[in-house]
Chain A
């Protein structure tokens, strides 16, 4: 599997808001269709793994283990994350078809849109590409989407999954490594350090190989894209956008008007940039340049610029394209779906954070308010049951400052704060009255947050009667106890 890149989404392109106040997230209704896609994708992935002609028994065992894991992962991803909605999926499939039409050698490849917050796209080796919704909001136009798809198609065409795996396993089971391993196992002393050093050397060697494959995929993607009619210079800007950290132009929810209620005083917040750690040593992380799977974006951008110059494009004249209405709509919906996915994955800290961020520019959005209240309920419920640390993560250097500040804020909350926060949300953001499943679920959880047990119970009973197999049945059962 080749990963494209990973980060989280940035807050651009939000103009679909006015039309999406009552957005209902995509819910799978046709499970047979998903089963069919999962089966055909996993079979295709299985068939794409071909053992080299010469191999040793250990190699075969590891190769098969990798193959089985890829098959299982494909099945799991399709079943749990694939998005067959009516907005994002058709839009991206349309771009994908345009690319295939211009590059017929790629007929038979497939694109699966995956509901995931990770800013990532990846190829499975058989021509199946997963494109995460979290990546969409990092991009600016259709051409940039096209470049990402072309990049992943190139990995498939150039057989990179197979090549990468073979290179890794060949190194792993090479006579030299085997000999060194045997020698280490026979040493009496410092075995741990010697084994760690050997493993690190193999990993680094493999990563350098992977970087080379990424550069190849960028180059081929450039030519595939050129066949489509999309502006190839946008490939350059796609890399630039993806390399950017999360956008800081968003006002952090804790500093916005959201919590500026006269009745509620925020728990005193420590600025995440002023580390409260007594240690001045930088935390040990395995993310220094030597362990990245991808070459530095600036190197990739520079290589693309050279390609443009070689193919007659005036690189001094290239500029960003503006987004169309359709693109902006897709990005907005992808944000909702990503927030929903965060909620479904029990990342209630992040689902609350991003729903609040979106709400700050979309004051009357029922869906965002609902997911915000539901996230708040889950946080309070987990705090009450001493499982708060399962759903509220630590600050870390991969998060933006806004996210880290928010996590510090969440970690300082007491049970009584939740009611106040909910009141703040209600005061600052209005709702258009609506009668549907998510509205009832929001109402019952809202009562729970307000410590109105009787109200929550009555609404939970109503929910269970109206929606006996509803999506919030578990919550209703908890509140009905």
Chain B
């Protein structure tokens, strides 16, 4: 959330130049990355919300504002809210083609609120004091700490509001004993349609909504025996959006010899097929613990039947297609994104990482401090392209960048590299930031930021843009950003652009700027 000063008399505060592709906002005393969030429609950025707390409304409440901007940074409308002062947070905003919904969390009351708005930003519905479980509250407190420390990966995906195209929104949360999950579907006016609960399961289950159409909601489920268990099992769950009925729950492992992790899932509305991508492991290894042997891609029918699968070993098939490119085999690959495009190909974006001994951390541990004996090293980004028809690997493109080192959380050493990758993703340690598509699925822009992370994000950095052009070629464009600001963030933007947000604390100024990315 962003905190803003009270309006000072005789000064123009929100002085935005909407004619240019930049916007300067004054009067802000602090920012966090999740204070601004993009509004997505068909994977394309269509606007932003800026959530901030203003002055006091009464003894217990503050005046909050959600300013809505379009994709060109033109202000559309400000929504005024009177909500409990200080401990109130906008968790997420989502758009489902017909309505925009906001999920808030009240840390004092320990409740969720949801508000929904139509395209003309008139309120459609409101739910206040949605009860939360202890596990939800614990997760929200952790998320708040994450958000305020680095501002990177703000929220755990185990609590979210997920848009169901034109139909409404699904809220997922953790059940009271952290073992199971709860899904609740609301229509655009926030009338409850159905709920689905796992109940208290034998194992620990965690679900993440990954894709949805007007008919189906696809979930990824991770399951483990205990909280300290090193073995994760992955499942795909398909839900009927109208009834909330579970249509299937399947493991991506269709053969006893397969040891798979799931890092990317998508639901293809046109073909009604489900694609899963992830790492595969030796049968003697545990998914998530050891380094993967390679990556796999599988297709399932909407009935949950496996249609096709392909396995590509890092040191064999991948190297063969990579040709002359030297790919350092000492790294492990983390899959960030799978993107099915209109050119008949599916692109998989992975980033290299590895763990190395952290002498400083070991010394601190010896002295009784809290540190990790390991550091994370981040390497290059690899883009794999596969033909949709037969899932054959047609290209490997390595995007070279400076190696950077991150401090891992204490206790990382007890997990294997697979779990370390997930933790690094959760803590925003990777250089990869986001990918944005054009609505016609012809182009994408995958963005990473390269900087000396241990010195902080305000240092000089490189914003790298990996572009898939209309011509089907992948090119790269690097933007150098001078680090003279207190805090700097980047966000997805309209096709061909990125949004940079700089916070100048002394001036209490927030500078938002759309930067056009160069494509040949």
Residues of chain A whose beta carbon lies under 8 Å from any beta carbon of chain B: 181, 185, 188-193, 195-196, 199, 276-281, 283-284, 383-384, 386, 388-390, 392-396, 411-412, 414-416
Confirm or deny: B298 has a beta carbon within 8 angstroms of a beta carbon on chain A. Answer: no
Partner of B9, one of A181, A281, A394, A412: A181
Confirm or deny: B261 has a beta carbon within 8 angstroms of a beta carbon on chain A. Answer: no
CA distance A393 to B63 in the complex (A): 33
Known: A191-B7, A191-B55. A389 touches B514 (CB 8 A): yes
Partner of A412, one of B63, B121, B496: B496
22 contacts across the A-B interface (CB closer than 8 A): A189-B55, A189-B57, A192-B6, A192-B7, A195-B7, A195-B8, A195-B9, A199-B9, A199-B10, A276-B71, A279-B70, A279-B120, A383-B516, A384-B518, A389-B21, A389-B515, A389-B516, A390-B20, A394-B19, A396-B19, A412-B496, A414-B520
Cβ B21 vs Cβ A280 within 8 A: no
CB neighbours of A199 from chain B (8 A): 9-10
Confirm or deny: B22 has a beta carbon within 8 angstroms of a beta carbon on chain A. Answer: yes
Q: Is the interface of A mostly helix, strand, loop or mixed?
A: loop
CA distance A386 to B412 in the complex (A): 39
Cβ A277 vs Cβ B71 within 8 A: yes
Q: A388-B516, A393-B19 are in contact. List 18 more A-B contacts (CB 8 A).
A: A181-B9, A190-B57, A191-B6, A193-B63, A195-B7, A276-B46, A276-B71, A278-B41, A279-B120, A281-B120, A389-B20, A389-B21, A390-B20, A392-B516, A393-B21, A396-B74, A411-B496, A416-B520
Cβ B57 vs Cβ A386 within 8 A: no
Known: A277-B47, A278-B39. A189 touches B56 (CB 8 A): yes
What's the nearest-Cβ distance from chain B to residue A286, in Å? 11
CB neighbours of B520 from chain A (8 A): 414-416
Cβ A389 vs Cβ B22 within 8 A: yes
Cβ A192 vs Cβ B55 within 8 A: yes
Segment at the A interface, from B75-83, B272-280, B328-336, B347-355:
B75-83
Cβ A393 vs Cβ B20 within 8 A: yes
Within 8 A of A (CB), among B502-520: 513-520
CB neighbours of A283 from chain B (8 A): 18, 70, 74-76
CA distance A17 to B73 in the complex (A): 40
CA distance A115 to B211 in the complex (A): 56
Which of A191, A192, A390 has its CB near the most chain B CB atoms (within 10 A)?
Answer: A192
Partner of A277, one of B9, B76, B513: B76
Chain B 6-27 against A: per-residue CB contact (8 Å), 1 yes, 0 no? 1111100000001111100000
CA distance A415 to B496 in the complex (A): 12
CA distance A181 to B78 in the complex (A): 25
Cβ B20 vs Cβ A386 within 8 A: no
- Which residue of chain A is the closest to B62 with respect to CB atoms? A189
Confirm or deny: B229 has a beta carbon within 8 angstroms of a beta carbon on chain A. Answer: no
B side interface size, CB within 8 A: 47
Cβ B72 vs Cβ A394 within 8 A: yes
- Which residue of chain B is the closest to A395 with respect to CB atoms? B72
Residues of chain B whose beta carbon lies under 8 Å from any beta carbon of chain A: 6-10, 18-22, 39, 41, 46-47, 54-59, 63, 68, 70-78, 95, 119-121, 469, 479, 496-497, 513-520
CB neighbours of A181 from chain B (8 A): 9
What's the nearest-Cβ distance from chain A to residue B497, in Å? 8
CB neighbours of A193 from chain B (8 A): 63
CB neighbours of A416 from chain B (8 A): 520
CB neighbours of B56 from chain A (8 A): 188-191
CB neighbours of A386 from chain B (8 A): 479, 515-518
Cβ A192 vs Cβ B54 within 8 A: yes
CB neighbours of B10 from chain A (8 A): 199
Known: A192-B55, A193-B63, A415-B518. A278 touches B21 (CB 8 A): no
What's the nearest-Cβ distance from chain B to residue A269, in Å? 14
CA distance A195 to B7 in the complex (A): 7
CA distance A284 to B469 in the complex (A): 35
- Which residue of chain A is the closest to B82 with respect to CB atoms? A190
Partner of B63, one of A190, A284, A384, A414: A190
CB neighbours of A392 from chain B (8 A): 21, 516
- Which residue of chain A is the closest to B478 with respect to CB atoms? A386
CB neighbours of A276 from chain B (8 A): 46, 71
Cβ A279 vs Cβ B119 within 8 A: yes
CA distance A207 to B58 in the complex (A): 34
CA distance A199 to B10 in the complex (A): 7
Known: A278-B119, A284-B77, A389-B513. A394 touches B21 (CB 8 A): yes
What's the nearest-Cβ distance from chain B to residue A380, in Å? 10
What's the nearest-Cβ distance from chain A to residue B244, in Å? 27
What's the nearest-Cβ distance from chain B to residue A414, in Å? 5
- Which residue of chain A is the closest to B479 with respect to CB atoms? A386
CB neighbours of B9 from chain A (8 A): 181, 185, 195, 199
What's the nearest-Cβ distance from chain B to residue A364, in Å? 33
* For the complex of A and B, 7 pairs with smallest distance between CB atoms: A389-B21, A192-B7, A388-B516, A280-B120, A278-B46, A394-B72, A281-B120
What's the nearest-Cβ distance from chain B to residue A405, in Å? 15
What's the nearest-Cβ distance from chain A to residue B355, in Å? 34
What's the nearest-Cβ distance from chain B to residue A176, in Å? 15
Cβ A278 vs Cβ B47 within 8 A: yes
CA distance A202 to B411 in the complex (A): 62
CA distance A188 to B85 in the complex (A): 14
CB neighbours of A195 from chain B (8 A): 7-9
- Which residue of chain B is the closest to A193 with respect to CB atoms? B63
CB neighbours of A278 from chain B (8 A): 39, 41, 46-47, 70, 95, 119
